[in-house]
Amino acid sequence: MPFPPLPAALTEALTERGYAEPTPVQTAVLQEDGAGRDLLVSAQTGSGKTVAYGLALAPELLGEAERLPQGGAPLALVVAPTRELALQVKAELAWLYARAGGHVVSVVGGMDPGAERRQLARGAHIVVGTPGRMRDHIERGNLRTEALKTVVLDEADEMLDLGFREELEAILDTTPETRRTLLFSATVPKGIEALAKRYQKDALRIAVGSSGAQHGDIEYRGSLVAPHEMERAAVNILRLEDPRIAMVFCATRASVARLHASLTERGFTAVALSGELSQAERTRALQSLRDGRARVCVATDVAARGIDLPDLGLVLHAELPRDAETLLHRSGRTGRAGRKGVSWLVVPHNRRRMAERLFQQAKVRVNEVPAPTAEAVRAKDADRLAVQARELLAEEAEEQDVAVAAGLLDTPKEALAAALVKLLRAPLPAPEELAEQPERRERGERPAREDRGPRDDGPPPQGGAVWFRMDIGRDSNADPKWLLPFLCRRGHVTRNEIGRITILGRETRFEVAPYAAARFAAAIRRPVGGEDGEVRIEPMQRLPAPPRRGPGRPR
Q: Which residue has the higher pLDDT, 327 or 303?
A: 327
1 against 147, higher pLDDT: 147
Q: Are 226 and 484 spatial neighbours (Cβ–Cβ below 8 Å)? A: no
Of 438 and 372, the structure prediction assigns the larger pLDDT to: 372
Q: Would you say residue 34 has pLDDT above 80?
A: yes
In whole angstroms, give the CA distance from residue 555 to residue 551.
10
Structure confidence at residue 118 (pLDDT): 95
pLDDT at 134: 96
**Per-residue model confidence as pLDDT tens digits over 493-535:** 888 888 889 988 889 999 998 888 888 998 888 877 656 667 8
Say yes or no to pLDDT of 214 above 80. no
- pLDDT of residue 292 exceeding 60: yes
Reported as a single tens digit per residue, the pLDDT across 333-348 is 888 766 789 999 999 8
Distance of CA 445 to the CA centre of its chain: 37
The predicted structure's pLDDT at residue 530: 58
What span, in angstroms and rounded, lies between the C-alpha atoms of 58 and 35? Answer: 11
The pTM of this model reads 0.57
What are the Cα distances from residue 174, in Å, to 145, 168, 179, 194, 357? 7, 10, 11, 18, 45
C-alpha 120/C-alpha 288 separation (Å) is 29
Structural domains present in the chain = 8-207 (3.40.50.300), 218-373 (3.40.50.300), 375-395+405-425 (no CATH), 447-539 (3.30.70)
Among residues 282, 52, 312, 335, the alpha carbon closest in space to that of 182 is found at: 52
Q: Decide: 388 and 242 in contact? Cβ < 8 Å.
A: no
| Start-to-end C-alpha separation, the chain | 84
The predicted-structure confidence for 130-176, as pLDDT tens digits, reads as follows 999 999 999 999 999 999 999 999 988 888 877 899 999 999 999 99
Using alpha carbons, list the distances in angstroms from residue 181 to 41, 46, 132, 223, 343.
Answer: 11, 21, 19, 44, 34
Helix (H, G, I), strand (E, B), or coil: what is residue 485?
A: helix
pLDDT (tens digit, 9 = 90+) per residue, 238-269? 999 999 999 999 988 888 988 999 899 889 99
Residue 462 pLDDT greater than 70, yes or no: no
- Average model confidence (pLDDT) across the chain: 83
Question: What are the beta bridge partners of residue 345?
Answer: 222, 317
